[in-house]
Amino acid sequence: MSTTRPAFTPQFMREDGDAAPWTVLRPDGQLEEGARPTLDDAQLREACELMLFSRAFDEKGFSLQRQGRFGTFSPVRGQEASVVGAAVALDPQRDWVVPQYRELPALLRQGLPLEQFMLTFLGDPRGGLAPEGVNVLPIQIGLAAQLPQAVGLAWGLARQGRDAVVLVFCGDGASSEGDFHEACNLAGTLGAPVVFLLQNNGWAISTPRSRQSAAVTLAARAPGYGIPGSLVDGNDLLAVHEVVSDAVGRARAGDGPSLVETLTYRLGDHNTADDARRYQPADELESWAPRDPIARVLAHLRSRDLWDDEHDAAVRARIGRRIDEAVRTVEGVEPPGVDHLFAHVGEELSPRLARQRADLIASVETR
């Protein structure tokens, strides 16, 4: 491969200040000149299915929420390549994902049952439990707080000789928080095996990327921490996978952390409580539609005869069944009660907590 991306000589350092992201798959689904996909056919189809799953779940989640059957949640819509491309660069057996809150398919890839994720957004505390062996931390609402935690996790795993890499997600908005800086800098000094996946989807609720920072690219922050940085087309599954795989490889080899910025776009509302039409320029939104990450992979797979209508229908049916099954399961879960206020607050209940629990149970019973 002899294209221009010098692995981890980030584009933003080019003299002309141009910040062209790394691309493998063109919007029309054709490979860039000389590019060689880093995913084999089976992997590609699997990744594509995960992206479709994510999109289908977004739609289901929105409609359930509108019916009052689901809580406020943030769809992945538009960012599927960025999330899935990064996630499939991991080995779920040993690697970890530390999410922000908009990365459902990465959690699924790690083995988190969809039901757990759904329970969380149904407001059930039990959703927070990732079964033992599923290498994920809970979703994070306090923006950027997950970043130093991921560094500690990577550092701790390395210290114990585990051959693990931690992939941690954050948004362009979260990257303005102090925790982003402290985490990247700490990772640099420790050489911790962590990959910071900064999803620049153009928005933090209503705040456009242009007001979030004057930096030409956010990946340009990497040299300030002495770590490699890269800018990648976040709507290009193969580009994301390639760059993140490089970063994961470096981390696994003991060469420390990396910062990867995926340039992508939030196709619509921030969450089910938002109305993006108040602030998202219609023409900007439209300009991103042709770059839809799923359409791009599908076009590619179809052009290589790896996907046809029949397969498409089968995949979508399978996805639909799985989601419906999860909806049924979580809707059948017995509602949580007073015990779920007190369970897991600490190893044991102090006498004061035990009394509060007893009092609450009594007050609920007399209601």
Partner 1 sequence: MSTLNMLQAINATLRAELARDERVMVLGQDVGRLGGVFRATDGLLDEFGADRVVDMPLAEAAIVGASIGLAASGLVPVAELQFLGFSHQAFHQIGAQLARMRYRSQGRFPMPVVLRAPFGGGVRTPELHSEALEAQFVQSPGLAVVTPATPADAKGLLQTAVRSSDPVLFCEPLRGYRLVTGEVPDEDCPIPFGRSRVAREGDDVTIVAWSAAVQVAEKAADVLAEEGISVMVLDLRTLVPLDETGLIEAVAATGRCVVVHEAPLSAGFGAEVVATVNDGAFWSLEAPVARVAAPDTPYPPGRIEDLFVPTVARVVAAVRATVKAG
Ligand X SMILES: Cc1ncc(C[n+]2csc(CCOP(=O)(O)OP(=O)(O)O)c2C)c(N)n1
Regarding 329 and contact with partner 1 (CB under 8 A), the answer is no
User: CB count, 10 Å around CB of 306?
Assistant: 16
Regarding 173 and contact with ligand X (CB under 6 A), the answer is yes
Regarding 246 and contact with Mg ion (CB under 5 A), the answer is no
Give the angle subtended at the CA of 230 by the CAs of 190 and 111, to the nearest 5°: 70
Is residue 225 flagged as an active site residue? Answer: no
Regarding 124 and contact with partner 1 (CB under 8 A), the answer is yes
Regarding 342 and contact with partner 1 (CB under 8 A), the answer is yes
**Which residues lie closer than 8 Å to 66 by C-beta, 6 or more apart?**
272
DSSP H stretches of helix in 125-168:
146-159
Q: Which stretch binds ligand X (CB under 6 A): 25-33, 123-131, 198-206, 323-331?
A: 198-206
Distance CA 315, CA 321 (A): 10
Regarding 141 and contact with ligand X (CB under 6 A), the answer is yes
Cβ nearer to a copy of itself, comparing 101 with 225:
225
Contact indicator for 97, 167 with CB cutoff of 8 Å:
yes
Regarding 172 and contact with Mg ion (CB under 5 A), the answer is yes
Cα radius of gyration (the chain):
21
Please name the amino acid found at residue 126: R
Q: Which of 224, 281, 290, 337 binds a copy of itself (CB under 8 A)?
A: 224
Q: How far is the CB of 130 from partner 1 (least distance, A)?
A: 6
Distance CA 44, CA 52 (A): 12
Residues 62-91, one symbol each (x = binds partner 1 by CB under 8 A, - = not), give ---------xx-------------------
Contact indicator for 134, 98 with CB cutoff of 8 Å:
no
Pick what 223 binds: a copy of itself, partner 1, Mg ion, none; C-beta below 5 to 8 Å, kind-dependent: a copy of itself
Q: Which stretch binds a copy of itself (CB under 8 A): 46-54, 196-204, 225-233, 262-270?
A: 225-233
Distance CA 298, CA 304 (A): 10
Cβ nearer to partner 1, comparing 277 with 304:
277
Residues 239-278, one symbol each (x = binds a copy of itself by CB under 8 A, - = not), give -----------------x----------------------
Contact indicator for 152, 128 with CB cutoff of 8 Å:
no
194-200 and 203-204 as β-strands: parallel, antiparallel, unpaired? unpaired
Is residue 55 flagged as an active site residue? Answer: no
Pick what 203 binds: a copy of itself, partner 1, ligand X, none; C-beta below 5 to 8 Å, kind-dependent: ligand X
Q: Which of 7, 8, 13, 361 binds a copy of itself (CB under 8 A)?
A: 13
Contact indicator for 265, 207 with CB cutoff of 8 Å:
no
Residues in region 150-169 near partner 1 by CB under 8 A: 150-157, 159-160, 162
Q: How far is the CB of 197 from ligand X (least distance, A)?
A: 12
Please name the amino acid found at residue 24: V
Q: Which of 50, 104, 220, 251 binds a copy of itself (CB under 8 A)?
A: 220
Q: Which of 11, 146, 201, 212 binds Mg ion (CB under 5 A)?
A: 201
User: CB count, 10 Å around CB of 143?
Assistant: 19
Contact indicator for 259, 196 with CB cutoff of 8 Å:
yes
Tell me how far CA of residue 63 lies from CA of 75, 97, 105, in angstroms: 12, 28, 19
DSSP H stretches of helix in 169-256:
178-190, 209-212, 237-252
Regarding 270 and contact with ligand X (CB under 6 A), the answer is yes
- DSSP structural state of residue 38: S
Regarding 188 and contact with a copy of itself (CB under 8 A), the answer is yes
Residues 219-258, one symbol each (x = binds partner 1 by CB under 8 A, - = not), give ----------------------------------------
Please name the amino acid found at residue 90: L
Distance CA 175, CA 181 (A): 8
Is residue 265 flagged as an active site residue? Answer: no
Q: Which residues bind ligand X (CB under 6 A)?
A: 74, 102, 141-143, 171-174, 201, 203-205, 266, 270
Q: Which residues bind Mg ion (CB under 5 A)?
A: 171-173, 201, 204
Q: Which residues are marked as active site? A: 266, 270, 279
